[in-house]
Amino acid sequence: MELYNLKKNEQRVSFSQAVKLGLGDNQGLFFPTQVPALTDIDALLKQDFVSRSVTILDAWLGDELGSDNVETMVRKAFNFPLAVTAVNSQTYALELTHGPTLAFKDFGARFMAQCLNLLCKDERATILTATSGDTGAAVAHAFYGLDNIKVAVLYPKGKISLLQEKLFCTLGGNIHTFSVEGSFDDCQQLVKDSFDDLEFKQEIRLNSANSINISRLLAQICYYFEAVAQVPADKRDNLVISVPSGNFGDLTAGLLAKAMGLPVKRFMAATNENDTVPRYLATGEWQPQPTISTRANAMDVSAPNNWPRIEELMKVQGWDKSLVSGIKVTESEMCQGLKDLHAQGYLCEPHGAIAAFALKNTLMADETGIFLCTAHPAKFQESVEDILNIKLELPQPLADVADKAILSKEISADFSELKQSILAI
Ligand X SMILES: *Cc1c(COP(=O)(O)O)cnc(C)c1O
| Shortest distance (Å) from residue 63 CB to ligand X | 27
What does DSSP assign to residue 328?
Answer: E
| Shortest distance (Å) from residue 250 CB to ligand X | 4
Among 249, 326, 337, 369, binds ligand X (CB under 6 A): 249
Cβ proximity to ligand X: between 217 and 260 the closer is 217
Could you tell me which stretch among 166-174, 240-248, 283-291, 400-408 binds ligand X (CB under 6 A)? 240-248
| Shortest distance (Å) from residue 296 CB to ligand X | 7
b/e per residue 269-303 (b: at least 16 CB within 10 A): bbbbbbbbbbbbbeeeeeeeeeeeebbbbbbbbbe
Among 71, 134, 165, 275, binds ligand X (CB under 6 A): 134
| Shortest distance (Å) from residue 290 CB to ligand X | 18
Stretch 351-380 residues interacting with ligand X (CB under 6 A): 351, 374-375
Can you say whether residue 8 is alpha, beta or left, with left for phi > 0 and alpha for psi between -120 and 50 degrees? beta
Burial class of residue 323, CB neighbours in 10 A (0-12, 13-18, 19+): middle
* Of the candidates 99, 114, 186, the residue with the CA atom closest to the CA atom of residue 148: 114
| Shortest distance (Å) from residue 416 CB to ligand X | 32
Could you tell me which stretch among 112-120, 230-238, 248-256, 331-339 binds ligand X (CB under 6 A)? 248-256
| Shortest distance (Å) from residue 103 CB to ligand X | 5
Residue 311-350 contact track with ligand X, rule CB under 6 A, x = bound: ----------------------------------------
156 near ligand X, judged by CB under 6 A: no
| Shortest distance (Å) from residue 66 CB to ligand X | 29
Cβ proximity to ligand X: between 94 and 418 the closer is 94
Cβ proximity to ligand X: between 105 and 110 the closer is 105
Residues touching ligand X, count (CB under 6 A) = 15
Enclosing H/E stretch for 250: helix 249-259
* Cα gap 289→159, rounded to integer Å: 24
103 near ligand X, judged by CB under 6 A: yes
100 near ligand X, judged by CB under 6 A: no
* Cα gap 54→33, rounded to integer Å: 21
Cβ proximity to ligand X: between 182 and 350 the closer is 350
| Shortest distance (Å) from residue 270 CB to ligand X | 10
* Of the candidates 172, 168, 57, 169, the residue with the CA atom closest to the CA atom of residue 111: 57
Cβ–Cβ under 8 Å, residues 353 and 344: no
* Cα gap 182→165, rounded to integer Å: 16
* Of the candidates 271, 304, 346, 270, the residue with the CA atom closest to the CA atom of residue 95: 346
| Shortest distance (Å) from residue 394 CB to ligand X | 18
Q: What angle do CA 221, 225, 231 make, to 5 degrees?
A: 145
* Phi then psi dihedrals of residue 260, to 5 deg: -80, -10
247 near ligand X, judged by CB under 6 A: yes
Those residues with Cβ within 8 angstroms of residue 425's Cβ, 6 or more apart along the chain or in another chain: 150, 152, 176
244 near ligand X, judged by CB under 6 A: yes
Among 24, 246, 337, 397, binds ligand X (CB under 6 A): 246
DSSP output for 178-243: EEEES-HHHHHHHHHHHHH-HHHHHHHTEE---TT-HHHHHHHHHHHHHHHHHS-GGG-TTEEEEE
Could you tell me which stretch among 198-206, 225-233, 244-252, 384-392 binds ligand X (CB under 6 A)? 244-252
For residue 306, give the 3-state DSSP assignment.
Answer: coil
Cβ proximity to ligand X: between 71 and 250 the closer is 250
CA 77 distance to own-chain centroid: 14
Stretch 285-304 residues interacting with ligand X (CB under 6 A): 298-299
Residue 77's CB: how many other CB atoms inside 10 A?
A: 26
Residue 166-185 contact track with ligand X, rule CB under 6 A, x = bound: --------------------
Neighbouring-strand partners of residue 240: 266, 369
Cβ proximity to ligand X: between 12 and 279 the closer is 279
248 near ligand X, judged by CB under 6 A: yes
* Cα gap 417→179, rounded to integer Å: 12
245 near ligand X, judged by CB under 6 A: yes
Which positions lie near ligand X, rule CB under 6 A? Answer: 103, 105, 134, 244-250, 298-299, 351, 374-375
